[in-house]
């Protein structure tokens, strides 16, 4: 997500559930764009954006979503599981940051990240988002969405 898109989301506010689903969809679009590209330079640019967007998204979730989730019944276990997945993904993302498209492990590492992130997103949408809807009213989800985007904007400028 570009800084202007993030700013627009912040200005508009937003339900945390809608924001997370929107970001998941944006990353899925980047995955598709990568998979369709045959140009190494374009692939590197797309991957750089994927890495940035995922690291920013993870930061916002870890600072805003998971602490709240842990306060719900069954939330602790779900949050711990999602956090562990994100830590594993972060390790792979940092490996990928050091690679160029002509690296023999570049494509397989990107594909591994695509599979892991797709699975993580689906699990989050099945487990985390329903808990947020169940335990938070609209105003609380909007407030949480505002905090999410504040962290998102800060992290976006801090993560290169």
pLDDT per residue over 16-60, tens digit each? Answer: 999 999 999 999 999 999 999 999 999 999 999 999 999 999 999
Residue 94 contacts residue 111 (beta carbons within 8 Å): no
Residue 23 contacts residue 1 (beta carbons within 8 Å): yes
Hunting for tokens 């993302």 — which residue is that?
Answer: 93
**Per-residue pLDDT band at 13 (split at 50, 70, 90):** low
State which residues form the domain around 17. Answer: 3-158
Most distant CA pair in the chain, distance: 49
CA 93 to chain centre: 12
* Dist CA 28 CA 119 (whole Å): 11
| pLDDT, average across residues 109-125 | 95
What's the total number of domains in the chain? 1
Hunting for tokens 């602790």 — which residue is that?
Answer: 76
Whole-model pTM?
A: 0.88
Decide if pLDDT at 61 tops 50.
Answer: yes
Residue 142 contacts residue 13 (beta carbons within 8 Å): yes
């Amino acid at each position: 997500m570009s800084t202007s898109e993030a700013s627009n989301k912040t200005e508009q506010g937003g339900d945390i559930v809608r924001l997370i689903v929107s970001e998941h969809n944006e990353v899925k679009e980047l995955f598709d764009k990568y998979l369709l590209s045959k140009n190494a330079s374009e692939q590197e640019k797309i991957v750089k954006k994927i890495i940035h967007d995922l690291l920013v998204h993870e930061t916002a979730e870890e600072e805003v979503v998971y602490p709240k989730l842990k306060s719900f019944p069954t939330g602790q276990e779900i949050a711990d599981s999602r956090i562990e997945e994100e830590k594993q993904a972060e390790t792979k993302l940092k490996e990928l940051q050091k690679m160029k498209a002509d690296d023999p492990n570049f494509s397989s590492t990107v594909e591994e990240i695509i599979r892991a992130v797709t699975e993580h997103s689906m699990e989050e949408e099945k487990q985390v988002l329903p808990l947020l809807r169940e335990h938070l009213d609209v105003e609380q989800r909007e407030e949480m969405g505002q905090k999410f985007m504040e962290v998102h904007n800060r992290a976006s400028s801090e993560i290169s």
